Structure 1
Amino acid sequence: MKRWKCILEEYNYEMKYVPGKTNVVSDALSRPPHTNTNVLSSTDHSDESSSHHLIPATEAPIHAFKNQLFLQYANEDSYSFKMPFPTFHRHTITKPDYYTQDIKYIFNRYLDPALTNGF
């Protein structure tokens, strides 16, 4: 009875008493479906409760290198400088070929021994 009451409270209805002589046998449609409560099943979560769609953010840099140097190969020479976080420098150098003298010059110019460098 309590189960029926919980189900019926979701609807707007008016109850009418039917004496037992009129309603002798209840049919299968008037019974709630039998559910086995002993079976373990996975829980379904809605998209709102899931955090997979959120954009991850960080308060501190993931790579704690104060000075980052990226060397890339391409057909043209280029240089870019970014500051992803305050006091963190990111140098990206693109060249078609790197020779020993070029590497030495890049290291001397862009890497600072006083900072934590990442190459």
Structure 2
Amino acid sequence: MIKVLGDSHDKEMYDLLVEVTDLRKFVEEELHVLWKDVDEVRVECQSRHASNGNASISTSYIVVGTHGIKVPKPNMYNNTRNATMVENFLFGLEQYYEALGIVDDGAKIANASNFLHESTQLW
């Protein structure tokens, strides 16, 4: 009886090993396909970015930061000619862009005017 139980246990262990091996092979194949797709997307993004020319004049956003977190907007600059006020405004704007994950300088510059008040926008 013990021999029968031992043989049964060995067969079950072998079957489990075969199943785990098959699952591992399947997962590795799927990962290979996914990595191939990611590489293709990366190449496409790089070629589109290169075809747009210099990144500093790009109007597209490159976002790498947080998703789903509401980031408070910085205070608007109201044309006060005070070095401390200007520095505080620029620091707040930089922190805002960093929290959003915007790293493209062209996108930052293009949208900075949204935070200028009244006649300051005409500069």
TM class, shorter-length: under 0.3
Q: Which has the higher strand share?
A: 1
Specify the structure having the higher radius of gyration (Cα): 1
Q: TM-score, normalised by structure 1?
A: 0.25
